[in-house]
A and B are shown apart, each in its own frame.
Chain A
Amino acid sequence: MDVSTIILYVVTVVLLLLSFWKDRKKTLTALKKGRKAFENIMPQFLVILIFIGLMLAVLTPEQISSVLGSQSGWLGMLLASLIGSITLIPGFIAFPLASALLKNGAGFMQIAVFVSTLMMVGIVTLPLEIKTFGRKAAVTRNLLAYVFSFGVAIVIGVVLG
């Protein structure tokens, strides 16, 4: 477990105890609400978990690196952005992968657009986002984030290129 998760737990336990000490009934309501919110979202969470597993089993890091490593320029960036948008790779896999790609000769701009779309554009999580914000807002946010990722790549290219 990493430091941030531990901090999250410590903060939660402290606040929970404080809440319990101040108002027992309210705290129980809070816990009930938390459980209810989780139950509401559970089907979507499960879908995301299985979907990511299937997707990354087919699209392995080796395959991603063979695509991103060999293609450069705008085509490389386009491919990187598409892979970044459709996949949802946890950080503990994504950053070592990006670092390995760089060492194997991929450009900074391709890596930047890959990392940025990976984090900001979520096609797998889009149904959940639509459920929260409605279709229009969710699609707009993702489209803007997609375009913005190319801006990130250009700035990274200028600063580090």
Chain B
Amino acid sequence: MKSDAKWLKVLKRYRIFLVLVVINLFVLLAFPTIGTRSLSLTWANTLEMLSIIPPVFILLGLLDVWVKRETMIKLMGEGSGLRGVLLAFLLGSAAAGPLYAAFPVAVVLLKKGTRFSNVLIFIGAWSTTKIPMLMFEASALGWKFMLTRFAIDLVGIALIAWITGKVLSKEEIQKIRAQAEAAET
């Protein structure tokens, strides 16, 4: 039956999630304190995620539809040079939300022909130099701590992106890009 196959597919996609739900229920029964704590933490994180999901995915869709491949290649593709690096860095730093929300955006960037190392710079910036996070860091750990870490992160993000780009062969990067192109639409 066609609908059965569809359900099976959904079940398969969500199998790890379902296993974790079962584990969580087991923990809730066996260790109520840890179980309740876990659920309330998951709930808090879900709310945090839900608050940024609509804008991030709408922007992702708009980016996909409006920005032409040629434009993106010119801005952040091969040969975009330092400007491409800076743009990738600013794009990542201006982001809001946890790192895992950055990966779907990275897929669109790859699809549009952004240079691989620039996508990694975007990921690096999203992970550690998000502007609102830096403000938070400065107030909790002091300006000197935040600024020192920020300065070395600038070097680190570029270095990590560059080395990762070098470690992979052209064919491997091509494969990642092809996979991104096949992912949606």
Interface membership of A53, Cβ < 8 A: yes
Report Cα–Cα, A43/B12, bound state, in Å.
10
Pair A30/B64 contact, Cβ less than 8 Å: yes
Q: Residue among B17, B132, B137, B153 with the most chain A CB within 10 A?
A: B17
Report Cα–Cα, A34/B62, bound state, in Å.
8
| Partner pick for A32 among B61, B131, B133, B167, CB 8 A cutoff | B61
Supposing A33-B184, A140-B167 touch, asked if A49 and B136 sit within 8 A by C-beta, the answer is no
Supposing A38-B104, A119-B128 touch, asked if A53 and B45 sit within 8 A by C-beta, the answer is yes
Q: A53-B42, A56-B38 are in contact. List 14 more A-B contacts (CB 8 A).
A: A3-B132, A5-B51, A11-B59, A12-B54, A53-B40, A57-B38, A90-B44, A92-B48, A95-B136, A95-B140, A115-B141, A122-B99, A131-B103, A137-B167
Q: Residue among A34, A52, A115 with the most chain B CB within 10 A?
A: A34
What chain B residues lie within 8 Å of A48 (beta carbons)? Answer: 100
Pair B140/A98 contact, Cβ less than 8 Å: yes
Pair B14/A33 contact, Cβ less than 8 Å: no
User: Closest Cβ of chain B: how far from A129's Cβ, in Å?
Assistant: 6
Name the CB-closest residue of A to B160: A144
Q: Residue among A45, A46, A53, A151 with the most chain B CB within 10 A?
A: A53
Interface membership of B80, Cβ < 8 A: no
Interface membership of B46, Cβ < 8 A: yes
Report Cα–Cα, A3/B52, bound state, in Å.
12
User: Closest Cβ of chain B: how far from A141's Cβ, in Å?
Assistant: 5
Pair B140/A99 contact, Cβ less than 8 Å: yes
Name the CB-closest residue of A to B175: A134
Pair A5/B52 contact, Cβ less than 8 Å: yes
Pair B59/A141 contact, Cβ less than 8 Å: no
What chain A residues lie within 8 Å of B54 (beta carbons)? Answer: 9, 12
Pair B52/A156 contact, Cβ less than 8 Å: no
For residues 50 through 82 of chain A, which have their beta carbon under 8 Å from a beta carbon of chain B?
50-54, 56-58, 60
From DSSP, what is the main secondary structure of chain A's interface residues? helix
Name the CB-closest residue of B to A31: B61
User: Closest Cβ of chain B: how far from A20's Cβ, in Å?
Assistant: 10
| Partner pick for A144 among B23, B37, B98, B164, CB 8 A cutoff | B164
Interface membership of A111, Cβ < 8 A: yes
Report Cα–Cα, A31/B34, bound state, in Å.
39
Name the CB-closest residue of A to B179: A134
| Partner pick for B152 among A4, A7, A152, CB 8 A cutoff | A152
Would you list 14 pairs from A and B whose C-beta atoms are within 8 A, ordered by A residue?
A1-B51, A12-B54, A12-B55, A30-B61, A50-B21, A52-B41, A53-B42, A56-B38, A90-B48, A91-B137, A92-B48, A98-B140, A115-B149, A140-B164
Pair B61/A4 contact, Cβ less than 8 Å: no
User: Closest Cβ of chain B: how far from A71's Cβ, in Å?
Assistant: 19
What chain B residues lie within 8 Å of A90 (beta carbons)? Answer: 44-45, 48, 98
Report Cα–Cα, A53/B49, bound state, in Å.
13
